Structure 1
Amino acid sequence: MRKLIAIIYTAMIGLLITGCGADSAMRKGDKFYALGEYYDAADQYKKAYSQTKSKDKPLRGQRALKLADCYRRINYTQKAIGAYQNAVRFKQADSTAMLHLGRLQLKNGSYKEAEKTFKTLEDSMPRNILVKNGLQSAQMAPKWKAEAQYSGYTVKKQDLFNSRRAEYSPMLAGDDYNQLYFSSTRSQAKGDELSGITGTKNADIFFSQKDDKGKWSKPEAIETDLNTEFDEGACVFTPDFKTMYLTVCKTDPEYPRFAQIATAQRSDASWGKATELEITKDTLSTFAHPAISPDGMWLYFVSDMPGGLGGYDIWRVEITAHGLNSLENLGAPINTPGNEMFPTFRPNGDLYFSSDGHPGFGGLDIFIASPNKDGVYVIEHPGAPLNSQGDDFGMTFEGLHNRGYFSSNRGDARGWDHIYSFEKQEVVQTVKGWVYEKDGYELPEALVYMVGNDGTNKKLSVKGDGSFTELIDPNVDYVFLGTCKGYLNHTEELRVEPVLESEEYVLQFPLASLTAPVLIRNIFYDFDKATLRQESTMALDSLIELLNENANVTIELSAHTDYRGSAAYNERLSQRRAESVVNYLIEHGIAADRLKPVGYGKMKPKTVKRKLTETYPWLKEGDVLTEEFIKALDEEKQEICNQLNRRTEFTVLRTTYGMDAKSADAPSSEPVQPQPGR
């Protein structure tokens, strides 16, 4: 009897200790959950569930429900399904829990089970759009998968960028798209502690560089104060690549912190410390996943702030010189009661985003929003293999082509994301232009006006290397006007014919300075005479074209000789040569009062510009090719310098020719836009 009493007593004490342990684990779990630390909360809820008596079914069901919610939030899909099914078994799953279960079954590729779940929900939630779309997804996903071969997409996992942890939100950068930035929780990320939210290290931003042979380097973390011990991710750049927008997620042991958007500035090749960006005064909502519109005028982002359609919505706010302005929700058909996340733009203006609210395979699917002629967005689901039953998101494009990178957790049982490449074969016609100073370097401050006879009228900024790339359409006549403050304009025309394969047209915009002499290359005279040789025709015709493009300009046309021969003889020869060029221009329609011929002989030896030192590295910028300077060189270099001195140039005298008195003081700062066919 004593032994029996002891056994019963021990069992009762054990049950009491177990019950207290479960309650303690629940309290700890609830504290972690309130802070958004779902990984740590799940660990405690799991302990509590396992220590709850099997006969206490309602309590086990309630704790299974909390455990399921945490697993769902940290992408432990199969564990979440199991926990929700336990809640159903113990009759503790309400309609919301059943909706989560159905959506997780989609994400797991269990389409028949998902169909049953959503059909059960039709009675209790008859007008719920997520139930309707979930049922459609479950019924259509197998068919969509079977049609993957017709989508035109090729998808490949990129092991070079991936680790044994998570990589997500790749973003191409650089004038030639030769840099790839992405976020990763790999072991090289800063800090030693594991996140209570995910159970991994907090993410840092890493980058890889492509070399001249097209090979990507091993990814490295950004070695500046941009990365911290907290989470940094989902970065994007302004068109000039000077400002980075990114998501930062800080944690606090006392109260919940929500994701915020921050900015960082680039100085030379380094990124500075991130500064949080205040979009609204709301401190209880998430602001994340920034994207910049192709024109750089709008910041798109994701938020769960009040005023949305439910879950996370895509919003936008205008970027102005005075700050952010005109906050607006994109609304339907883009946003749904589900989650719309990770917006990004293809340079042609199409908005790509990920959603679990539209019909899809499950999890986050990638969708394309293209505006129609009325400005209304049309939503397209690009199908498999771009999309999968997992989360697919974070697109980045290599220019105007339909290729680049994205992230997905397909096939990863732990729910960790990895980087994939994608490409869809399309016939894409583009124009690439280069704006630079004649005999000089690129002009990154230039603007190009693009006008087409189909109604196209655009003002294009150039990149840091003076280039621009733009989509063009077949059967359209285009005119491009290159402009830059301090320089004359230059026009190029392009007729685009239909093609069967992608093609890029290249245009050059060499702009002549308004303040410095401009060399006219390839002007040749008969020896010791002023007679223009036939080989000069192309250069002279280009000068005529330039003067026609800049009709209010008058110029001084100057000819120069080397130091050999008397000053008087060289001056007379150079004057006759300058007059020969002017006469040619007049004969071809240029008004005589726009031209002033001057022969300087050997009075103005050439001053070396930096660009010339690339051809002749033994010269330095600023060297003046005087007789004394040349005679100090060896014989071969002397002859080169004499050739450089024998030149024909023009200098802009006025930019107000033909203007009336009211506008004679200064020309218009905005160039007249070209017209196709003129």
Structure 2
Amino acid sequence: MNFKKIFYICLFISASGYLLSPSKLKSNDLEKANAYYDNLDYYYAIDIYEKLIKKKPSLDVAEKLANCYRFVGRTQEAEQTYKKVITFPNFDPVNYFYYANVLKQNSKFEEAKHYYLMYGERVPKKAELALTQANSCDAARLWLDNPDKTVEISNVEALNSSASDFSPVIFNDGILFSSDRAFVAANEKKSKDKISGWTGNSFMKIYQAVGENPQGENYKLSLLPSHINKDYHNGPAAISWDGQYLVFTRIGNVNKKELRNVKNPIVRKEIYFSEKKNGVWTETQPFPYNSNFKYSVQHPTLSPNGNILYFSSDMPGGFGGMDLYYSVKIDGKWTVPVNCGNKINTAEDEAFPYVRQDGKLFFASKGHITLGGLDIFSATGEKGEWDEPENLKAPINSPKDDFGITFFSDNTTGLFTSNRVGGKGLDDIYHFSRKEETKPEIICVVAGKVVENGTNDPISGLRVYLVNKSKGEEKSVLSKEDGTFSFDLEKETDYVLRGDSDKFLLKQEGQLSTKGIKESTIFNVRFEVEKAEDAYLVKLNNIYYDFDKYTIRKDAEPELNKVLAFMKKMPYVNIELRAHTDSRGKASYNMLLSENRANSAKLFLLNGGADGSRLLAKGFGETQLLNHCKDGVKCTKEEHQLNRRTEFKVIKINPVQANHQSKTSKLR
């Protein structure tokens, strides 16, 4: 289920107290689609926008269609449409973020990482968020490639339909869950169900399934009574462990007197209670801190003793989006809600809380590092004091939305909700079990980015080294075109991470350690480097190459012979051969081509009698262009030719490093 649907679904009411009807909207197609969109009737808006985008594409239509797909959870269509959005001039950069989100949910982690970083570059104040989300793509891939093999999951087909079935809770010998399926009880007259303009399905209702098989087989399914399941959306629900106290979410309970005093009212989600007396659910009572037209309170759950109510809300004063709150029952009354704190809550959305019998909290979040959409997390603590949340990882979590978990009395088996690929409907209920509650394998990664100090431009082709201090082993990688790099780390090991470049100065080492780490961790590293001075270097004339070649041209031989003569006259210097390419082609290929060019010049000098110990060949690919001819810039053949060169630089043997100013870069 798309998280925004669950979090923000609401009803727009006219001043007369009736739902805004599609028949009352304007006849113009675009105006009608925009009215549906503004009214959150995405099911109806999509149909019109799809026709408009084919007939007359525009940025506004593309953006709104992409958003509609995202809101209803159609991530494949959303991906294709956001791809179109970013081709229009003057699009809002936030579309990079939305595009990255759906790419990640579609398991396209490398592409998602690229567009998260693009978002950070276009919106500098969001650079930290963008980098975190980009690095979370590495975590997602690692977790998916290394699932907890002690956990088994299966689709509870007997409970699921082709619609959304979600948020199961277990009590006595039964299960409560929410669904927007079309359902008519045996003793009811068949009538046309009311339809939600958001999904095109029926409004959500709370169902009860009674039986003994945890896989849902032979369950008897029924709706809770009509005074609980009102006309519009009802659920999800929670129930006390003895099955006698019900608390649930509802939308659409409108007080007409209050409605007359509100302009363009939006009916929010609220919490209600009911008790079972003599086997019958009593009339519902509202939570005293509901606020129908200002903010939502939803997704309630009870502590094992029933005295603490946890729920999700976008009430003022939170950390952003939906936050988790708690209220305590004292002398039969609920206290003013208190935010659960920044260990649990983030600038994104947290929802669907559940407290296990042992007091452990489980909840869904998009703000912590996830595999894609909503992920399920656990945390130990109470009220506003919590340890760091832990992602349940794969296979319980997936690149799609995973939420609404509940446990059987053994605390190791239970049910949860997911809209992952391969389900029976839009959202399905899944059963999970594990042999023992052991933590998955701990995976540690260092993921970083190299940027130029002052400009924050990404630096590609810079070699970064990782030294295992325990084994004395060293491995290295080149930073990619977007400046990123990564290494896998071993457990209980100390490392030195350092960068090495001739053109750039940076801190030569930073310390990392995986000792004592108890859960999978990503070390986010950022190198800020700046250009070095080359006052102690003397340039000779350059030699040039043909496109995509590294053979020595005839016009280069006289210059190489000059180098040979120079070396004979100056025996106390070393020559550094620094080869370069133009920007055409992939950066990785250009790096290899430049290395071949440097080596071909070195071989020519060796064949001419040069001392090999005094020659150093280096390739720099396309990282040091002499003009404006970078990727995507149209240039003449002559302009590109200027970049295909080998430079000869004379380096003093003693002392080389004395003149090389060092500067500590930032390593975060």
* Contact 2:208/2:222 (<8 A) preserved: yes
2:179 aligned partner: 184
* Contact 2:290/2:297 (<8 A) preserved: no
CA distance in structure 1 between the aligned counterparts of 2:63 and 2:423, rounded to whole angstroms: 21
1:266 alignment partner AA: K
- Alpha-carbon deviation of 1:146? 1.4
2:44 aligned partner: 40
**Partner SS, residue 40 of structure 1:** helix
In structure 2, relative to structure 1, the CA distance for the partners of 1:94 and 1:412 (3 Å cut) is farther
- Alpha-carbon deviation of 1:41? 2.9
CA distance in structure 2 between the aligned counterparts of 1:145 and 1:81, rounded to whole angstroms: 21
2:101 aligned partner: 103
Greater helix proportion? 1
2:138 aligned partner: 139
CA distance in structure 1 between the aligned counterparts of 2:113 and 2:437, rounded to whole angstroms: 39
In structure 2, relative to structure 1, the CA distance for the partners of 1:284 and 1:195 (3 Å cut) is same
- Alpha-carbon deviation of 1:412? 5.6
**Partner SS, residue 380 of structure 2:** strand
Map residues 193-592 of structure 1 onto 2, 5 A cutoff: 193-211=194-212, 216-250=218-252, 255-281=265-291, 283-371=293-381, 375-411=385-421, 416-426=426-436
Question: Which stretch has the larger CA shift, 23-32 or 396-405?
Answer: 23-32
- Alpha-carbon deviation of 1:322? 5.0
Map residues 50-89 of structure 1 onto 2, 5 A cutoff: 50-52=54-56, 54=57, 60-89=58-87
**Partner SS, residue 358 of structure 1:** coil
In structure 2, relative to structure 1, the CA distance for the partners of 1:116 and 1:24 (3 Å cut) is same
- Alpha-carbon deviation of 1:133? 3.1
Deviations 1:244-282 (A, max 9, x none): 111112299974322211222223333344443231546
* Count of aligned pairs: 397
Q: Does 1:161 align with 2:159?
A: yes
CA distance in structure 1 between the aligned counterparts of 2:214 and 2:302, rounded to whole angstroms: 30
CA distance in structure 2 between the aligned counterparts of 1:240 and 1:344, rounded to whole angstroms: 16
Deviations 1:324-381 (A, max 9, x none): 2132111212111111110101111111011111111111011111239x95422111
1:170 aligned partner: 168
1:110 alignment partner AA: K
In structure 2, relative to structure 1, the CA distance for the partners of 1:22 and 1:131 (3 Å cut) is farther
2:142 alignment partner AA: K
Question: Which stretch has the larger CA shift, 317-326 or 299-308?
Answer: 317-326
In structure 2, relative to structure 1, the CA distance for the partners of 1:413 and 1:211 (3 Å cut) is closer
2:224 alignment partner AA: I
* Contact 1:158/1:421 (<8 A) preserved: yes
CA distance in structure 1 between the aligned counterparts of 2:424 and 2:29, rounded to whole angstroms: 24
CA distance in structure 2 between the aligned counterparts of 1:362 and 1:130, rounded to whole angstroms: 15
Contiguous gaps of at least 5 residues in structure 1: 1-20, 55-59, 429-678
In structure 2, relative to structure 1, the CA distance for the partners of 1:382 and 1:180 (3 Å cut) is same
In structure 2, relative to structure 1, the CA distance for the partners of 1:414 and 1:26 (3 Å cut) is farther
In structure 2, relative to structure 1, the CA distance for the partners of 1:238 and 1:322 (3 Å cut) is same
CA distance in structure 1 between the aligned counterparts of 2:265 and 2:424, rounded to whole angstroms: 28
**Partner SS, residue 378 of structure 1:** coil
1:121 aligned partner: 119
**Partner SS, residue 196 of structure 2:** coil
TM-score (norm 2): 0.55
1:317 alignment partner AA: S
1:226 alignment partner AA: I
In structure 2, relative to structure 1, the CA distance for the partners of 1:92 and 1:40 (3 Å cut) is farther
- Alpha-carbon deviation of 1:207? 1.5
* Contact 1:340/1:353 (<8 A) preserved: yes
In structure 2, relative to structure 1, the CA distance for the partners of 1:425 and 1:390 (3 Å cut) is same
**Partner SS, residue 89 of structure 1:** coil
CA distance in structure 1 between the aligned counterparts of 2:353 and 2:210, rounded to whole angstroms: 24
**Partner SS, residue 219 of structure 1:** strand
1:116 alignment partner AA: H
- Alpha-carbon deviation of 1:315? 1.3
Question: Which stretch has the larger CA shift, 206-215 or 328-337?
Answer: 206-215
1:195 alignment partner AA: S
* Contact 2:270/2:291 (<8 A) preserved: no
- Alpha-carbon deviation of 1:413? 8.7
2:71 alignment partner AA: R
CA distance in structure 2 between the aligned counterparts of 1:84 and 1:357, rounded to whole angstroms: 21
**Partner SS, residue 140 of structure 2:** helix
* Contact 2:340/2:385 (<8 A) preserved: no
2:30 to 13, 26, 29: 26
CA distance in structure 2 between the aligned counterparts of 1:168 and 1:197, rounded to whole angstroms: 17
CA distance in structure 2 between the aligned counterparts of 1:420 and 1:220, rounded to whole angstroms: 20
Contiguous gaps of at least 5 residues in structure 2: 1-24, 186-191, 439-668
Deviations 1:148-174 (A, max 9, x none): 044x22111111111121100000012
In structure 2, relative to structure 1, the CA distance for the partners of 1:282 and 1:308 (3 Å cut) is farther
* Contact 1:170/1:406 (<8 A) preserved: yes
* Contact 1:299/1:317 (<8 A) preserved: yes
In structure 2, relative to structure 1, the CA distance for the partners of 1:73 and 1:239 (3 Å cut) is same
**Partner SS, residue 28 of structure 2:** helix
**Partner SS, residue 98 of structure 1:** helix
* Contact 1:133/1:358 (<8 A) preserved: no
Question: Which stretch has the larger CA shift, 208-217 or 71-80?
Answer: 208-217
CA distance in structure 1 between the aligned counterparts of 2:193 and 2:97, rounded to whole angstroms: 37
What is the RMSD of the two structures over their aligned residues, measured on CA atoms?
A: 2.9
2:629 aligned partner: none
1:148 aligned partner: 147
CA distance in structure 2 between the aligned counterparts of 1:275 and 1:189, rounded to whole angstroms: 26
Map residues 10-25 of structure 1 onto 2, 5 A cutoff: 24-25=28-29
1:248 alignment partner AA: R
* Contact 2:341/2:385 (<8 A) preserved: no
CA distance in structure 1 between the aligned counterparts of 2:241 and 2:403, rounded to whole angstroms: 21
In structure 2, relative to structure 1, the CA distance for the partners of 1:39 and 1:276 (3 Å cut) is farther
**Partner SS, residue 198 of structure 1:** coil
Query: Whose relative contact order is higher, 1 or 2, with alpha carbons under 8 Å and at least 6 apart?
Result: 2
- Identity over aligned pairs, percent: 28
- Alpha-carbon deviation of 1:229? 2.9
CA distance in structure 1 between the aligned counterparts of 2:346 and 2:239, rounded to whole angstroms: 27
In structure 2, relative to structure 1, the CA distance for the partners of 1:293 and 1:133 (3 Å cut) is farther
**Partner SS, residue 85 of structure 2:** helix
CA distance in structure 2 between the aligned counterparts of 1:140 and 1:213, rounded to whole angstroms: 32
- Alpha-carbon deviation of 1:240? 4.2
In structure 2, relative to structure 1, the CA distance for the partners of 1:280 and 1:160 (3 Å cut) is closer
CA distance in structure 2 between the aligned counterparts of 1:127 and 1:265, rounded to whole angstroms: 49
* Contact 2:355/2:361 (<8 A) preserved: yes
CA distance in structure 2 between the aligned counterparts of 1:427 and 1:398, rounded to whole angstroms: 14
1:142 alignment partner AA: R
In structure 2, relative to structure 1, the CA distance for the partners of 1:224 and 1:92 (3 Å cut) is same
In structure 2, relative to structure 1, the CA distance for the partners of 1:37 and 1:258 (3 Å cut) is farther
2:133 alignment partner AA: G
* Contact 1:408/1:417 (<8 A) preserved: yes
CA distance in structure 2 between the aligned counterparts of 1:125 and 1:251, rounded to whole angstroms: 41
CA distance in structure 2 between the aligned counterparts of 1:50 and 1:331, rounded to whole angstroms: 47
1:371 alignment partner AA: G
Greater Rg, structure 1 or structure 2?
Answer: 1
